[in-house]
C-alpha cells in the first residue's frame, strides 16, 4: 500500500463515508460537490477535447481504437468531466479515442434511461463508421455495471459486439446481495452498506432489481466479448466483481480479475497521483491493445491476479 493510497483512503473515509450513513440521499448536495472539483487533468499533449450536449470526445489523430466510457456516480450524479482522470488516462495508455457519455441521470430519468442512452451511443459510433472490433465499452462503479448491462443488451438485440469490456469496481447487483456487503462493512473507506439500497431504489423506481439490464449479474453472459475487471479487496462491491468473473468464465467468456489491496473504490480516479492507479490504467490499456487488435477472440480464462 503506497502512502498515496493511504492518504486517499483517509480522505474519502473522512469526507465521503459519513455522507453514506445518512438516512436519505441528498441529490443536490452530491451533484454540487462533484461540480466543485478543484482538480481536473489537462488535455494531454497531442490530444483534442471536444464537448457537446451528449458527452465529450478526447481524440488523437493517430488512434485507431475507440472507447465508449460510462462514468460512475450511482446513476444520479457525476459527469464525464468529473471522471476525466480515468477517461483521459485510459485514452493515453490504450492509444484510443474516448467518447465519455453524458447519460441521463436519476431520479429525473430512472431505469432504463441510462441503458437506452448507452446502447444508442454505441450504435451511433458504429453508424459513424467505427468498427466494433476496434471498440471497447468501459466504465466505473455504476458506470461499470452500466457497461456490462450495455453489452448484455447489445448481445440480446443482435448488434455487433465490441472487442471487449473494461469494468472498474462495477456495481452489477442492485439487490445488494453480495457477501462483501457484510464482510467489508467497516473496511471500505468510502461507503456504508446502507447507502446502496437507497441508491438502487432511486434509480430503479418500480423496476425489478433483478432485471439483467439493471443488475447485469443476473443476465446471461454467453457470447459476450472478453472482460477485464479491476477492484479493491476492501470494497463493499467486491462480490459484484468476483461473481461476474465466475459466471462469465462458466459461460466460456474470457474474464480477468485484477485485485488491489487497501485502495479506495474506483482508485483509478486518483491517477496520476497514486501509483496503484497509474499501474491499473496501464494494465487496462494493455488489455485494450490486446483485444482490440487480436485477429480472433481468445476466451481462455486467465488466473486472477492480486496486486
Residues of the chain with pLDDT below 70 are 37-39, 294-307
Residue 293's pLDDT is what? 78
Distance of CA 57 to the CA centre of its chain: 17
Of 289, 273, 303, which is closest to residue 2 (Cα–Cα)? Answer: 273
Residues 6+ apart with CB under 8 A from 22: none
Residues 6+ apart with CB under 8 A from 216: 145, 148, 149, 151, 152, 172, 244
The cell numbers describing 172, all together, are 452489477
User: Which stretches of 217-300 are DSSP H helices?
Assistant: 238-250, 275-291
pLDDT digits (tens, 9 = 90+) for 216-256: 999 999 999 999 999 999 999 999 999 999 999 999 999 99
Domain range list for the chain: 3-294+302-306
Residue 303's pLDDT is what? 38
Specify the pTM.
0.94
Residue 177's pLDDT is what? 97
Residue 298's pLDDT is what? 41
253 φ, ψ (degrees, to nearest 5): -95, 135
* Catalytic machinery residues: 141, 235, 265
3-state helix, strand, coil in the chain (%, to 5): 40, 15, 45
Fold of domain 3-294+302-306: Rossmann fold (3.40.50)
Angle at 191 between CA 186 and CA 194, to 5 degrees: 90
Amino acid at each position: 500500500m503506497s502512502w498515496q493510497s493511504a492518504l486517499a483512503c483517509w480522505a474519502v473515509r473522512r469526507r465521503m463515508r459519513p455522507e453514506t450513513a445518512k438516512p436519505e440521499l441528498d441529490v443536490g448536495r452530491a451533484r454540487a460537490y462533484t461540480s466543485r472539483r478543484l482538480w481536473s487533468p489537462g488535455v494531454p499533449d497531442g490530444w483534442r477535447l471536444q464537448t457537446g450536449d451528449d458527452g465529450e470526445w478526447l481524440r488523437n489523430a493517430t488512434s485507431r481504437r475507440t472507447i465508449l466510457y460510462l462514468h460512475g456516480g450511482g446513476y444520479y450524479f457525476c459527469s464525464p468531466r468529473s471522471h476525466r482522470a480515468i477517461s483521459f488516462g485510459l485514452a493515453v495508455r490504450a492509444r484510443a479515442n474516448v467518447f465519455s457519455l453524458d447519460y441521463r441521470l436519476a431520479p429525473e430519468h430512472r431505469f432504463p434511461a441510462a441503458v437506452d442512452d448507452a446502447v444508442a451511443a454505441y450504435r451511433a459510433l458504429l453508424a459513424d463508421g467505427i468498427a466494433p472490433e476496434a471498440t471497447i465499452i468501459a466504465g466505473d462503479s455504476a458506470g461499470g455495471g452500466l457497461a456490462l448491462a450495455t453489452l448484455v443488451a447489445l448481445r440480446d438485440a443482435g448488434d455487433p459486439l465490441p472487442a471487449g469490456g473494461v469494468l472498474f469496481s462495477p456495481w452489477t447487483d442492485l439487490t445488494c446481495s453480495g457477501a462483501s456487503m457484510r464482510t467489508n462493512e467497516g473496511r471500505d473507506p468510502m461507503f456504508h452498506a446502507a447507502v446502496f439500497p437507497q441508491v438502487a431504489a432511486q434509480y430503479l423506481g418500480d423496476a425489478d432489481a433483478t432485471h439483467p439490464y439493471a443488475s447485469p449479474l443476473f443476465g446471461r453472459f454467453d457470447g459476450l466479448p472478453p472482460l477485464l475487471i479491476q477492484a479493491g479487496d476492501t470494497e463493499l462491491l467486491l462480490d459484484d466483481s468476483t461473481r461476474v468473473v465466475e459466471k462469465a468464465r462458466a459461460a466460456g467468456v474470457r474474464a480477468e480479475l485484477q485485485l488491489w489491496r487497501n485502495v479506495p473504490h474506483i482508485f483509478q480516479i486518483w491517477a496520476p497521483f497514486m501509483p496503484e492507479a497509474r499501474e491499473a490504467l496501464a494494465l487496462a490499456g494493455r488489455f485494450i491493445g490486446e483485444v482490440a487488435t487480436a485477429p480472433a477472440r481468445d476466451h481462455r480464462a486467465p488466473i486472477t491476479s492480486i496486486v
